[in-house]
Structure 1
Amino acid sequence: MLYAPATVSSHAHPSSDIHSSRNTWTGPRGYGGRHRLDEAPFSLWDDAKGDFRLPTPSEKSWLITRYSATAIDFQFPMMVIETANPPEPLPLTVAAIAAKFLPPPSVLVDRNANGMRLEPLDDARPIKFSRNYAGMRGPKDPLQFNFRKWIQPTDKELKLLVNALSRFCNPRLVHILCPRIIVELCCDDQRTYEPGSLPRKMGGYAVHYHHNLGSPFEGLSIRGRERLINPTTSIQDTSNYLNLFDELCPGVRVSSGTVTDVGLSAQASMSTTAGLLLRDNHGHQRLTVSNHGFLHSKEVFHPSNSGTQIGEIGERWEHLDIALVKLNPSVEFTNSTYFEAKVPRRLLRAHEIPDGAFFSVDGMSTGIVFMQAQGLTLDIPPRPQSLAEIDFLKMRIYRGFGALGAVPREGVCGAAFVENGSEEGGVAGFFQNGNTDYALSPCLDGLIDRSWSIV
């Protein structure tokens, strides 16, 4: 196993026995699955109905007593528990629902005459503002079907959604998070919308609209492939794993060179996280890295630009934010260990990733971070108004649950999402951008179609 030894100062990659043989998850793959630290003697997932349910009075009493909860809020598909004494380590689920633990507020909160809090513990909805473009008198639901609750829409349903939206407005990004749809409208097309002029429901889901001046996902408004990473050095694992172990693995630090592709001196060197070693059907092997971390240079170094040059970028997939690196012959890279995350074994297509499945990423600036697949984002490129059929990039939306107290930080971009609830080692994508609550990752169907697979 490849770990940082105790003598190496490493915030991101501690030496610990995390690769346990015991089963981590029980129950279905997706919503309703139960983490091994989930002690609740009941489940709030109704498998027969395929839906969540509220607890009975006795079940709520158990939750309050077990976690010394000062408040509990159910924001399906997650539960928020306010407590001054959270369990150690934190379970990823409680009663088979993804659980978020929060400390009590440091100041008194406003309550109504019945003693109930006037504000939610934590607003799980990613939308923070919405325009009044949708209303009761707006167009009726243009779709002839309803999206299935807590189940990812099919490609056919997504195309019908985007084509229907385009009859009323000019969408730039569409976020689908059961039971709501968030539409980010293009802001540079000179189009205006009257209050109540757009459909308030599509496929049975409530629709929210706003112009794309800033994403409703706080911290995601600057897209990954446009961002220059400049992480804080004190929170990064800067260990030189080539010197320590004679080989590299997913999750280690990689950096861009100090010389641009045109031979000029680069203004900054960026550091991100190494992805996976892939192989195509011709036998060519390439390492994935985050493309936006190497916009100005083909050279890839480990752990910093003053370290070892490990290879050069030969191909870029800008729409997936992936660059493929041909490693130097002297550099050994293994996928057989991924620090505290599961070992990656195969790439997953979008339809193979059920909503509710948990994944882990282990980046050089974070250590292991757990995230649950909770929806889709459709990235729609600009197009002529006469174009009826619309191609879009499909991205997965993940909600973060830091069972080890870790959250996404600058520098984790490029790290692989490996399914935590399965021993198959399925990889859903690579971290593109995110914040403490949410992350986005393009789906890998395009790579798979080009015959790339994990070595």
Structure 2
Amino acid sequence: MSNIVGRTRSSPWIRDLRLTTPYVSFFHNGSCWTNLHSHPTPRDPLISPLRIEQERTWISEEARGSRHRLDLAPFSLWDMDAKDYREPSLTEAKWISTTYKSRVIEFIAPFIVITTEHAALPEHNGLVTLTVACAPAIFISKQTEQDGFHAGPPWCNALRLCNPHLNDSLLQVFRSCPYNEPTAEEAQMILDELRKYCAVYAMNFVFPKLVIELANNGREYKDRSLPSRVAGWHVEYHYQLSGTPYWESTVSIGRNRETSAANNTGKGDDTNYLVTGNRMLGPGVRVEGSRLASTAGVRVRNGTKVRITLAAHSFEGCTRVFHPNGDSGDLIAEIKERYVDEDWALAELTPSVAFNNSQIFDSPTPQRLLSSNEMKGREWYMCDGMTTGKVALLYSGCRYVESAESDCEMTWASQWTPSTIYYAIGPATGASEVREGICGAAIIQETANGVGGFFRWISNNGYCFSSRLDRLIQDGWSCY
């Protein structure tokens, strides 16, 4: 089985990043670096709007338990009946250890963390699988393991507040499944229940647990005063008064050793595609405002209005958009609309600039915007940024956060700004230039040809957020 994807990105930055990060899966078949006769070379990055036929990424794709095409395990750690992950048996653990020549294997659901010097199997020509036994796989070196690498979201600083003996009264109403996002109605009931005990700033349904960020309003809590289970979810708490914000809290970032671009930081892909190949822009190209460089999203339309999407924070205080930079590049667009809460900016192209979604790099052409409900049944997404190339994003839950104008004691969950939580398996947790440069890039579901959001922010340990597109869709915008 194969599918058709867009042109390849052959900038020296991306090529070097792929060659120097052997522990990272780039969600890519790698052929553009091994067969220069059929693909563009660094001297001529884009000869034509090349269409490439490559193998599909997934042997099977599910809401959970998907199997990557390089996943050779003769078993699955996802239990379809229980709708949960299970521990590997001794025999299965030995198979993983032998296959990957691993000295340490750690299973922290949903991740399987494999310490090895051989992340890519010999028959895979340097390519790294995204899953092992249908569990998301993270490969690390011996040194990173000794540095204290931690898989999963940041640690909470207020675990002492949890009381396992408090009654979970919502179990009489419904029971949530830890790897399924709650409905809006269920989220509201969970919020109402928690407000009996505490002031909530944000709810993070980050699979398989619920992390509550307590409102920074001076309220104090006694030890073991808050429920540790709500509607079946295992709950943990973070109190900003006693430390930094939850998603910026101190965590092990040892995996930077495998994902850093420290030897090649700066610009990312700075190719000017207006003077290269067919002289047409597309999703994933470098764009720049007065201060920051980031990644272009997709072309959208609303009636007679045609725009390209951008990361609003990258164009704070300015409206003009340049490609590839503001020094020697071209003025390509001017921002006309902003969605500040969602970090979207919509820019109108100058008449002389051609932009088409089919010109996306190494990814299926985005054909539509996905609503929240359409996203929940898909586990893996991709994102192609100008500093990272194409990387994988694991759909990891949702975040409800208090709006700036709201009263956290009174608002409804439906009034809060919802975001999708992803875990980035790729170089996006490396140098700061890499993390910032990917902002604005379209987050795409491969088999649905749909855009689930636009890359917004990433923590040091790999978790990132993206505002959902329901508001953009409701306002009449669609891919064009």
The Cα shift of 1:108 comes to 6.9
Amino acid at match of 2:135: I
The Cα shift of 1:404 comes to 11
- Measured at CA, do residues 248 and 406 of structure 1 come closer, stay the same or move farther in structure 2, by a change above 3 Å? farther
Q: 2:406 aligns with which of 373, 379, 383?
A: 383
The Cα shift of 1:204 comes to 1.2
User: Does residue 1:337 correspond to 2:363, yes or no?
Assistant: no
Aligned length: 419
CA deviations on 1:4-37 (whole Å, 9 max, x unpaired) are 56xx534379855694432221224221111101
The equivalent of 2:138 in structure 1 is 100
The equivalent of 1:210 in structure 2 is 238
The Cα shift of 1:332 comes to 0.5
Separation (CA, whole Å) in 2 of partners of 1:403 and 1:79: 18
Amino acid at match of 1:93: T
The Cα shift of 1:184 comes to 1.0
The equivalent of 1:394 in structure 2 is 418
The equivalent of 1:293 in structure 2 is 314
The equivalent of 1:438 in structure 2 is 463
- Measured at CA, do residues 52 and 41 of structure 1 come closer, stay the same or move farther in structure 2, by a change above 3 Å? same
CA deviations on 1:306-354 (whole Å, 9 max, x unpaired) are 2211111111001110000011111100110321233212111112123
Matched-pair contact (CA < 8 Å) for 1:361–1:368: yes
CA deviations on 1:191-224 (whole Å, 9 max, x unpaired) are 2222222222111112111223523334799xxx
The Cα shift of 1:403 comes to 9.1
User: Does residue 1:57 correspond to 2:90, yes or no?
Assistant: yes
The Cα shift of 1:137 comes to 5.2
The equivalent of 1:224 in structure 2 is none
User: Does residue 1:416 correspond to 2:442, yes or no?
Assistant: yes
CA deviations on 1:93-130 (whole Å, 9 max, x unpaired) are 11111111111137979xxxxxxxxx8x6332433533
The equivalent of 1:429 in structure 2 is 453
Separation (CA, whole Å) in 2 of partners of 1:172 and 1:275: 30
- Measured at CA, do residues 402 and 383 of structure 1 come closer, stay the same or move farther in structure 2, by a change above 3 Å? closer
The Cα shift of 1:357 comes to 1.1
Q: Report SS of the residue matched to 1:192.
A: coil
The equivalent of 2:12 in structure 1 is 9
The Cα shift of 1:402 comes to 2.6
* Range that drifts further, 309-318 or 206-215: 206-215
The equivalent of 1:186 in structure 2 is 215
Matched-pair contact (CA < 8 Å) for 2:286–2:323: yes
CA deviations on 1:237-261 (whole Å, 9 max, x unpaired) are 111111113211111111113xxxx
The equivalent of 1:242 in structure 2 is 274
Could you state the TM-score of these two structures normalised by the residue count of structure 2? 0.80
- Measured at CA, do residues 70 and 452 of structure 1 come closer, stay the same or move farther in structure 2, by a change above 3 Å? same
Could you state the TM-score of these two structures normalised by the residue count of structure 1? 0.84
Matched-pair contact (CA < 8 Å) for 1:150–1:355: no
CA deviations on 1:229-280 (whole Å, 9 max, x unpaired) are xx985351111111113211111111113xxxxxxxxxxx211110010012
Q: Report SS of the residue matched to 2:275.
A: helix
- Measured at CA, do residues 90 and 385 of structure 1 come closer, stay the same or move farther in structure 2, by a change above 3 Å? closer
Separation (CA, whole Å) in 2 of partners of 1:32 and 1:107: 25
Q: Once superposed, what is the RMSD of the aligned Cα atoms?
A: 2.9
The equivalent of 2:294 in structure 1 is 272
The equivalent of 1:262 in structure 2 is none
The equivalent of 1:130 in structure 2 is 158
Matched-pair contact (CA < 8 Å) for 1:140–1:201: yes
Amino acid at match of 1:343: T
Matched-pair contact (CA < 8 Å) for 2:154–2:250: no
The equivalent of 1:158 in structure 2 is 187
| Runs (5+) with no aligned partner, structure 2 | 1-5, 19-31, 34-38, 40-50, 121-125, 252-261
Separation (CA, whole Å) in 2 of partners of 1:214 and 1:404: 22
Matched-pair contact (CA < 8 Å) for 2:287–2:294: yes
Amino acid at match of 2:458: G
Q: Report SS of the residue matched to 1:21.
A: strand
